[in-house]
């Protein structure tokens, strides 16, 4: 077995572009679900409108890259307002239903034949990331270092996406840290505990929930940009509901309502996924495992990851960074 | 235990205001802080609240009592904006309040607590208290990002919260999660938190429900203290000992209506109140003819039963 490759890809997965884009979207979910108690099951839609906002602006309208980013951000804010206005006055479960439905509607519009001229149908859009890569300070080549015998190298274009992505993660974590230490964050956490109590103390619950939805949606849409720029394309089926559920997994894995929880959650999630996949694929390839074929490994890794997460929730329900005392209070 | 032996100036003032008032529902008060007119709330076919007119005297402790299902809590919900009345109007300090959302009612100075305590479990006691303060600069999204812009105010709020927590004997718990407090301590915290809003009118929905008797006296003391500090208190309660002990005036509701008002010493002997609690004919003797008809009915029922048995 080629352990060097397995370890190399696993280590790279901890900081690679997938981790970056999921971490960003998970920071958004953490604001919604972890701090405010909003069950937003449509985070993939925020990523989708951002990715497509950028792609369509650049490829179809022929406008510059920065306009595309602006259009994506505006689309995320608009989506938050559209989903929030009818549902945030109602009970929490309504938001969950509306967001999951809205996300599916948006995905189906992106892949519909009727709008193929705009969104490109199920093939999506490509060729919009030149403007971004033109800004890259890294000349062509491979960048990285050898960790003992293990090579950790990234191509120049990927490194540029990673640098920008991790800078955004640092920025977002800083913002979340400042906000959640402040009286503004206190109101959000209080809304998570009991909306009526917050109302009785003279705070406009609707306004704070809307601010939370917009903020988390905008941070989630940054993940959509990173996806589009890293892949060089946007495809509708990437923004399906399972993406949102992976995000929830990461938030709970890292510890909900913790600043670094979603980031570490995303890292652990991808490391596990890549490690299991590569180990299994190598073991099958070199004949150690005979009851699986290489084609089944992809499915088996999801089964094993699922199993691992179930065990984690049983033995450490508060996640990696969580506070056990909070879980004890919840159980009352 | 019923009468106050050391009545204070505020208490005397409140009692003087009520002295010559008639014991009629909706009687006008000399200086009302809250005036309610024709408030109706229906749930389908059920009229839960139908209050024609009621006034709450400023600076007094007014009790709202009534049998279960009388509409007391629903009435509270209408007044504080937590539920929308079907019709009616009410003014607080002369300002119309119908249709005003709950958070604006609280900002206006009319703050309520809940029958089922709403402690914010996964926030500390101190954070619960700080949340009550109004016009916090740091509650604005953009200012929140600049800690320098709200730190000073936060320190002032914390100092005020510490004073209140000391008064309510919760200061030792300030860093504990509110969810770890006992039921009685949560009631105390909820009351203290409501005071952080600086209310003029405090509305307590069953402040004694589920409170350990050892804490009752301390809670009673705190409620009386509110009046001493110039606040007006309106509370819903079932415990008549408490009502007699601390209230200056009692309003009785039954089936959604205000049926009687009066001082606590005499209200429970009011005919209308006894009727509401025990039923209108609870103590009327049965007449001769009533007895006859009852006897005939019982006999007829027995005969029918026997007939049924024999037919089988």
Whether B199 is in a domain gets the answer yes
Please give the ipTM for the structure prediction: 0.87
Whether A299 is in a domain gets the answer no
Contact (CB, 8 A) for B117 and B183:
yes
What is the pLDDT averaged over residues A272-278? 91
Residues B267 and B195 in one domain: yes
> What per-residue confidence (pLDDT) applies to A330?
58
What is the pLDDT averaged over residues A24-46? 95
Q: Which two tokens stand for residue A42?
A: 């449509």
Q: Which two tokens stand for residue A149?
A: 């015998």
Which structural domain, as residue segments, surrounds residue B167?
128-175
Closest CA to A226 of A50, A41, A6, A42: A50
Closest CA to A188 of A257, A249, A251, A253: A257
B118 vs A330: CB contact, 8 Å cut-off?
no
Give the confidence band of B1 by pLDDT, cuts at 50, 70, 90: very low
Contact (CB, 8 A) for A226 and A55:
no
Report the mean per-residue pLDDT for chain A: 91
3-state secondary structure of A291: coil
Q: Which residue has the higher pLDDT, B174 or B292?
A: B174
What is the pLDDT averaged over residues B263-287? 78
> What per-residue confidence (pLDDT) applies to B21?
83
How many angstroms away from the CA of A99 is the closest CA of chain B? 24
> What per-residue confidence (pLDDT) applies to A331?
43
Whether B295 is in a domain gets the answer no
Closest CA to B121 of A284, A37, A131, A263: A37
- Name, in order, each residue with C-beta under 8 angstroms of A175's C-beta and a sequence gap of 6 or more: B145
The shares of helix, strand and coil residues in chain B, as percent rounded to the nearest 5, are 45, 20, 35
Residues B199 and B95 in one domain: yes
Q: Which two tokens stand for residue B38?
A: 């024709």
Residues B62 and B17 in one domain: yes
Whether A266 is in a domain gets the answer no
> What per-residue confidence (pLDDT) applies to B5?
41
CA distance B197 to A194: 17
Residues B154 and B278 in one domain: no
Count Cβ neighbours within 10 Å for each residue of B144-157 and write b for 16 or more, e otherwise: beeeeebeeebeeb
Whether B301 is in a domain gets the answer no
How many angstroms away from the CA of A201 is the closest CA of chain B? 5
> What per-residue confidence (pLDDT) applies to B28?
87
Which of B139, B178, B182 has the highest number of chain A CBs within 10 A, making it the mutation to test binding with A?
Answer: B139
Q: Which residues of A touch B (CB under 8 A)?
A: 175, 178-179, 181-187, 189-190, 192-194, 196-205, 211, 215, 325-326, 329-330, 332
pLDDT at position B2 over 60: no
Q: What are phi and psi of B193, to 5 degrees?
A: -65, -40
Q: B249-254 and B61-65: which strand pairing? A: parallel
Whether A318 is in a domain gets the answer no
Which residue shows structure tokens 């209408």? Answer: B78
pLDDT at position A258 over 60: yes
B106 vs A183: CB contact, 8 Å cut-off?
no
Query: How many alpha carbons lie under 13 Å from residue A223 in its C-beta half-sphere?
Result: 32
Burial of B34 (0-12, 13-18, 19+ CB in 10 A): buried
Give the confidence band of B60 by pLDDT, cuts at 50, 70, 90: very high
pLDDT at position B175 over 80: yes
Residues B136 and B38 in one domain: no
What is the pLDDT averaged over residues A313-328? 79
Which structural domain, as residue segments, surrounds residue A111?
19-140+152-257
Total domain count for chain B?
2
Count Cβ neighbours within 10 Å for each residue of A268-277 and write b for 16 or more, e otherwise: bbbbbbbbbb
pLDDT at position B289 over 80: no
User: Lowest-pLDDT range, A99-113, A217-231, A310-324?
Assistant: A310-324
Count of beta carbons in the 10 Å neighbourhood of residue B83: 17
How many angstroms away from the CA of B130 is the closest CA of chain A? 8
> What per-residue confidence (pLDDT) applies to A174?
96
Residues B15 and B46 in one domain: yes
Closest CA to A50 of A267, A201, A292, A218: A218
Give the confidence band of A321 by pLDDT, cuts at 50, 70, 90: confident
Residues B162 and B246 in one domain: no
Whether B308 is in a domain gets the answer no
What is the pLDDT averaged over residues A128-138? 90
CA distance B43 to A3: 70
Whether B302 is in a domain gets the answer no
pLDDT digits (tens, 9 = 90+) for B178-221: 999 988 889 999 999 999 999 999 999 988 887 888 888 888 89
Whether B292 is in a domain gets the answer no
How many angstroms away from the CA of B193 is the closest CA of chain A? 8
How many angstroms away from the CA of A211 is the closest CA of chain B? 8
Burial of A91 (0-12, 13-18, 19+ CB in 10 A): exposed
Whether B311 is in a domain gets the answer no
Total domain count for chain A?
1
Q: Which two tokens stand for residue B181?
A: 């407090």
pLDDT at position B64 over 80: yes
Contact (CB, 8 A) for B68 and B13:
no
CA distance B5 to B219: 18
Q: How many CB pairs under 8 A join A and B?
A: 115
Task: Indicate the helix (H) or strand (E) that contains B43.
Answer: strand B32-43
CA distance B160 to B177: 19
Q: Which residue has the higher pLDDT, B96 or B286?
A: B96
B150 touching A (Cβ < 8 Å): yes
Whether A253 is in a domain gets the answer yes
Contact (CB, 8 A) for A30 and A188:
no
What is the pLDDT averaged over residues A121-146? 90
Task: Indicate the helix (H) or strand (E) that contains A67.
Answer: helix A65-87
Residues B246 and B271 in one domain: yes
Give the confidence band of B286 by pLDDT, cuts at 50, 70, 90: low
Give the confidence band of B298 by pLDDT, cuts at 50, 70, 90: confident
CA distance B113 to B206: 9
Q: Which two tokens stand for residue B20?
A: 């010559």
Q: CA angle A84-A28-A262, nearest 5°?
A: 150
Residues B68 and B203 in one domain: yes
Give the confidence band of A58 by pLDDT, cuts at 50, 70, 90: very high
Looking up residue B70, the CATH number of its domain turns out to be 3.40.50.300
Q: Among B142, B159, B175, which residue terminates a domain?
A: B175
Give the confidence band of B165 by pLDDT, cuts at 50, 70, 90: very high
> What per-residue confidence (pLDDT) applies to B312?
62
CA distance B236 to B49: 15
Whether B3 is in a domain gets the answer no
Count of beta carbons in the 10 Å neighbourhood of residue B206: 21
pLDDT at position B16 over 50: yes
Residues B22 and B164 in one domain: no
Give the confidence band of B25 by pLDDT, cuts at 50, 70, 90: confident
CA distance B63 to B178: 28
Of residues B118, B145, B180, nearest to A196 (C-beta): B118
CA distance A96 to A318: 22
Contact (CB, 8 A) for B116 and B186:
no
A186 vs B131: CB contact, 8 Å cut-off?
yes
User: Lowest-pLDDT range, A77-81, A193-197, A242-246, B268-272?
Assistant: B268-272
Q: Which two tokens stand for residue B155?
A: 């320190």
Closest CA to A76 of A239, A228, A221: A221
Contact (CB, 8 A) for B142 and A239:
no
> What per-residue confidence (pLDDT) applies to B308?
78
> What per-residue confidence (pLDDT) applies to B284?
67
Report the mean per-residue pLDDT for chain B: 88
Which of B106, B120, B200 has the highest number of chain A CBs within 10 A, making it the mutation to test binding with A?
Answer: B120
Q: Among B175, B197, B214, which residue terminates a domain?
A: B175
> What per-residue confidence (pLDDT) applies to B285?
67
Q: CA angle B125-B129-B130, nearest 5°?
A: 120
pLDDT at position B4 over 50: no
pLDDT at position A163 over 80: yes
pLDDT digits (tens, 9 = 90+) for A6-18: 999 999 999 999 9
pLDDT at position B309 over 80: no
Residues B166 and B218 in one domain: no
> What per-residue confidence (pLDDT) applies to B251?
93
Residues B156 and B238 in one domain: no
What is the pLDDT averaged over residues A278-293? 88
Task: Report DSSP state, residue B14.
Answer: H
- Name, in order, each residue with C-beta under 8 angstroms of B258's C-beta and a sequence gap of 6 or more: B25, B26, B51, B52, B53, B54, B251, B252
What is the pLDDT averaged over residues A189-201? 94
> What per-residue confidence (pLDDT) applies to B116?
85
């Amino acid at each position: 077995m080629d352990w060097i490759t397995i370890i190399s890809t696993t280590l790279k997965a901890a900081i690679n572009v997938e981790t970056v884009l999921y971490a960003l979207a998970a920071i958004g979910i953490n604001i919604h679900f972890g701090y405010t108690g909003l069950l937003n099951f449509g985070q993939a839609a925020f990523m989708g409108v951002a990715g497509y906002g950028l792609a369509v602006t650049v490829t179809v309208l022929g406008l510059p890259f920065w306009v595309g980013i602006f259009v994506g951000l505006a689309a995320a804010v608009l989506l938050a307002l559209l989903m929030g206005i009818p549902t945030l006055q109602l009970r929490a479960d309504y938001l969950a239903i509306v967001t999951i439905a809205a996300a599916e509607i948006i995905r189906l519009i992106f892949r519909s034949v009727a709008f193929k001229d705009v969104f490109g149908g199920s093939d999506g859009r490509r060729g919009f990331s030149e403007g971004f890569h033109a800004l890259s300070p890294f000349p062509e080549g491979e960048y990285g270092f050898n960790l003992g015998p293990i090579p950790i190298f990234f191509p120049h274009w990927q490194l540029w996406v990673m640098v920008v992505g991790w800078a955004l993660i640092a920025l977002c974590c800083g913002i979340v840290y400042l906000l959640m230490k402040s009286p503004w964050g206190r109101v959000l956490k209080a809304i998570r505990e009991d909306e009526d109590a917050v109302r009785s103390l003279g705070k406009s619950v609707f306004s704070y929930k809307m601010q939370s939805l917009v903020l988390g949606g905008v941070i989630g849409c940054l993940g959509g940009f990173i996806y589009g720029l890293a892949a060089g394309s946007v495809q509708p089926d990437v923004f399906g509901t399972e993406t949102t559920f992976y995000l929830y997994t990461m938030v709970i894995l890292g510890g909900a309502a913790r600043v670094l929880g979603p980031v570490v959650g995303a890292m652990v999630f991808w490391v596990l996924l890549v490690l299991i996949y590569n180990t299994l694929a190598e073991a099958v390839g070199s004949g150690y495992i005979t009851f699986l074929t290489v084609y089944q490994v992809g499915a088996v890794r999801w089964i094993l990851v699922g199993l691992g997460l179930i065990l984690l929730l049983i033995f450490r329900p508060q996640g990696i960074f969580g506070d056990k005392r909070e879980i004890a209070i919840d159980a009352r | 235990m019923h009468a106050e032996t050391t009545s204070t100036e505020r208490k005397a003032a409140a009692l003087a205001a009520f002295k010559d008032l008639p014991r009629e529902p909706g009687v006008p008060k000399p200086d009302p802080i809250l005036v309610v007119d024709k408030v109706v709330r229906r749930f389908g076919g059920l009229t839960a609240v139908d209050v024609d007119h009621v006034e709450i005297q400023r600076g007094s402790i007014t009790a709202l009592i009534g049998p279960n299902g009388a509409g007391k809590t629903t009435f509270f919900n209408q007044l504080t904006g937590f539920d929308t009345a079907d019709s009616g109007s009410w003014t607080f300090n002369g300002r119309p309040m119908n249709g005003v959302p709950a958070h604006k009612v609280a900002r206006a100075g009319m703050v309520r607590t809940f029958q089922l305590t709403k402690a914010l479990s996964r926030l500390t006691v101190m954070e619960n208290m700080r949340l009550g303060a109004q016009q916090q600069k740091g509650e604005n999204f953009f200012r929140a990002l600049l800690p320098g812009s709200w730190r000073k105010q936060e320190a002032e709020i914390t100092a005020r919260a510490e004073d209140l927590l000391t008064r309510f004997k919760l200061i030792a718990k300030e860093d504990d999660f509110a969810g770890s407090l006992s039921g009685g301590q949560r009631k105390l915290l909820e009351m203290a938190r409501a005071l952080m809003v600086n209310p003029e009118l405090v509305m307590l929905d069953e402040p004694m429900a589920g409170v350990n008797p050892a804490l009752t006296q301390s809670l009673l003391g705190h409620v009386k203290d509110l009046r001493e500090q110039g606040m007006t208190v309106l509370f819903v309660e079932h415990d008549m000992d408490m009502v007699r002990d601390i209230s200056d005036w009692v309003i009785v509701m039954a089936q959604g209506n205000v049926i009687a008002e009066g001082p606590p010493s005499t209200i429970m002997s009011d005919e209308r109140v006894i009727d509401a609690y025990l039923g209108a004919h609870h103590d009327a003797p049965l007449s001769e003819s009533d007895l006859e008809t009852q006897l005939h009915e019982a006999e007829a029922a027995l005969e029918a039963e026997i007939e049924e048995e024999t037919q089988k």
